[in-house]
Amino acid sequence: MSDARSRGLSNPSQEAQENKNKAVIVVGAGAAGLYAAYLLAEKGVEVVVLEASEVHGGRVRPLANFADFPVELGAEEIHGKNSIYYEIAKKCEARLVKYETEDYYFIDNQLLDAKTAKENKDFNKAMKLIDTIGKFDKEDMSLLQYIQHQGIDESVWHIINAEVANEHGTSAERISMVGLAYEEQHWKAGEDNFILADRSHLSVFNTYFKDILPKIEYRQVVKSIDYAEDTVKVTMQNGYIYEADAVIVTVPLTILKAGEIDFVPALPSAKAEAIQKIGMGAGMKIFLKFKEPFWEAKTGSIYGQLIPEYWVSSEGKSMHDYVITAFVHGKNAEYLTEQGISAVALIIKELDEIFGNALASTHLADSFIMDWSKEIFIKGTYSYDTVGIGNSRQILAEPLKNAVFFAGEATCTDGHHASIHGAMESAERAVKEIGLAWERK
């Protein structure tokens, strides 16, 4: 049996002195796990991070050697300035940029720029629906039901699906209007989106968490967490056992849904139900590199059908590599994941329909599929609110016996789920909860 307490840390503050004999196990080395470990180490608590895979970062992962600029397989944008992660990226001297680009819409078999699309009354109705989601005050229903209820013309459903449901990790028939409105009302991070112009998110993590990286134990697949006694025992797939005063579980929601970690005693039924109630499913990013651009300069997003949203990832970043990212969630992602490598041909076919003249197929140079549902330790992209979700996120976040604490993006209760900064905020909350629990003892 290995004891997390055997690894030493020194910190001169009084709090650190008080915490000197305390040890915490963090499960998962994504944004939440790394930030939780960072905050605990700052307080003088001994910490070990158990990570199932061979790498840290979780849903933050760069794609190497595909283009001459940083390509992100997972998280890409920093959503808003009022966030822990925006501050961290700034401290690490990352160049944060907000590109001014133009969006395009494929409506009735025509590719329209935003100005032309605004001449279409159905498009304007769709935009109005999106802008007023925060005011939704009816009984919960899916976004698709609401679209139908509002009499939106079918020719523009895919745009609402793309800008709202796909962005939130699913498709319109699965996402909750109450959840979307709640998020809109509670979002505090700010409206501007930034990307890192000159480095990957993982390189920011590597800079900021450099003192935490040596505390990560890789290839440690947590199989059970026993919190029946005073100390918590965490057992690995290989039979190895770690023991500590507390554990913070930051694994993706899908891992809990699949029951991959046994809790002893078993999870309370309300928590088990909450885990199933919150949504998280298939999602893919498909990267398409072309020999030359066939789109207008300064193109941002292009809204399609099979692929709800494409965007030109090389815009403003490269003069040599021309890359479009296809981003798909929900039922179309489930369909494409079954197609395997053939998904690329289907997507290129749609781009040929959008741009005409077989422009996409004749210019395709390379492609890469990132299918997050096939990542065995992630199994999806990010959590979303299902119809009738209620307070499931609060229930998921509740600690067990002041010994097992829950963090990770799905545990955010303030609308910041599905983001890097939300994952970090959840870590901050869990670390505070541990502090309060220890004060009470």
Ligand X SMILES: Cc1cc2nc3c(=O)[nH]c(=O)nc-3n(C[C@H](O)[C@H](O)[C@H](O)COP(=O)(O)OP(=O)(O)OC[C@H]3O[C@@H](n4cnc5c(N)ncnc54)[C@H](O)[C@@H]3O)c2cc1C
Q: Is 377 in the site for ligand X (CB under 6 A)?
A: yes
Q: Which helix H or strand E contains 360, and what residues bound it? A: helix 359-363
Interface with ligand X by CB under 6 A: which range of 94-102, 134-142, 342-350, 412-420?
412-420
**Which among 147, 137, 153, 103 has a CA at the least distance from the CA of 304?**
103
Smaller CB distance to ligand X: residue 58 or 415? 58
**Which among 291, 293, 89 has a CA at the least distance from the CA of 200?**
89
Q: Which residues pair with 366 in a beta bridge?
A: 289
Would you state the structure tokens that stand for residue 97, as one six-digit string? Answer: 């940029």
**At its nearest, how many Å lie between ligand X and the CB of residue 216?**
10
**At its nearest, how many Å lie between ligand X and the CB of residue 88?**
12
Q: Is 413 in the site for ligand X (CB under 6 A)?
A: no
Mark out the alpha helices in 297-358 (DSSP H runs): 330-339, 343-355
**At its nearest, how many Å lie between ligand X and the CB of residue 398?**
17
Phi, psi values for residue 246, rounded to 5°: -155, 160
Q: Is 79 in the site for ligand X (CB under 6 A)?
A: yes
The type of residue at 79 is H
Distance CA 34, CA 27 (A): 10
Distance CA 186, CA 175 (A): 17
Would you state the structure tokens that stand for residue 101, as one six-digit string? Answer: 């680009």
Q: Is 260 in the site for ligand X (CB under 6 A)?
A: yes
Smaller CB distance to ligand X: residue 33 or 44? 33
Q: Is 250 in the site for ligand X (CB under 6 A)?
A: yes
Cis peptide leading into 70, omega within 30 of 0?
Answer: no
**At its nearest, how many Å lie between ligand X and the CB of residue 420?**
4
Among 71, 251, 275, 282, binds ligand X (CB under 6 A): 251
Q: Is 372 in the site for ligand X (CB under 6 A)?
A: yes
CB count within 10 Å of CB 258 equals: 12
**At its nearest, how many Å lie between ligand X and the CB of residue 70?**
13
Q: Is 60 in the site for ligand X (CB under 6 A)?
A: yes
Among 19, 53, 235, 314, binds ligand X (CB under 6 A): 53
* CB crowding 114-139: b at 16 or more within 10 Å, else e: eeebeebebbebbbebeeebeebeee
Interface with ligand X by CB under 6 A: which range of 98-106, 112-120, 172-180, 244-252?
244-252
Distance CA 194, CA 24 (A): 34
Smaller CB distance to ligand X: residue 60 or 112? 60
**At its nearest, how many Å lie between ligand X and the CB of residue 174?**
17
Q: Is 46 in the site for ligand X (CB under 6 A)?
A: no
Q: Which of residues 263-292 bind ligand X (CB under 6 A)?
A: 283, 285
Q: Which of residues 294-333 bind ligand X (CB under 6 A)?
A: none
Residue 281 is given by DSSP the state -
Smaller CB distance to ligand X: residue 160 or 418? 418
CB count within 10 Å of CB 1 equals: 8
- Residues contacting ligand X: total by CB under 6 A: 40
Q: Is 50 in the site for ligand X (CB under 6 A)?
A: yes
Distance CA 349, CA 119 (A): 28
Interface with ligand X by CB under 6 A: which range of 118-126, 153-161, 314-322, 413-421?
413-421
Q: Is 232 in the site for ligand X (CB under 6 A)?
A: no
- Strand 102-107 and strand 110-113: the pairing is antiparallel
User: Is-contact 280 383, C-beta < 8 A?
Assistant: yes
Distance CA 215, CA 229 (A): 25
**At its nearest, how many Å lie between ligand X and the CB of residue 249?**
9
Interface with ligand X by CB under 6 A: which range of 253-261, 265-273, 288-296, 336-344?
253-261
Would you state the structure tokens that stand for residue 339, as one six-digit string? Answer: 């197609």
Interface with ligand X by CB under 6 A: which range of 3-11, 138-146, 345-353, 373-381?
373-381
Would you state the structure tokens that stand for residue 320, as one six-digit string? Answer: 């040599």
**Which among 245, 243, 278, 89 has a CA at the least distance from the CA of 168?**
278
**At its nearest, how many Å lie between ligand X and the CB of residue 74?**
4
From the CA atom positions of the chain, what is the Rg in Å? Answer: 23
Among 26, 360, 378, 389, binds ligand X (CB under 6 A): 378
Q: Is 80 in the site for ligand X (CB under 6 A)?
A: no
**At its nearest, how many Å lie between ligand X and the CB of residue 223?**
7
Q: Is 25 in the site for ligand X (CB under 6 A)?
A: no
Q: Is 33 in the site for ligand X (CB under 6 A)?
A: yes
Phi, psi values for residue 355, rounded to 5°: -95, -15
Q: Which residues bind ligand X (CB under 6 A)?
A: 27-33, 50-53, 58-60, 74-77, 79, 221-222, 250-252, 255, 260-261, 283, 285, 372, 377-378, 381-382, 408-409, 418-420, 423
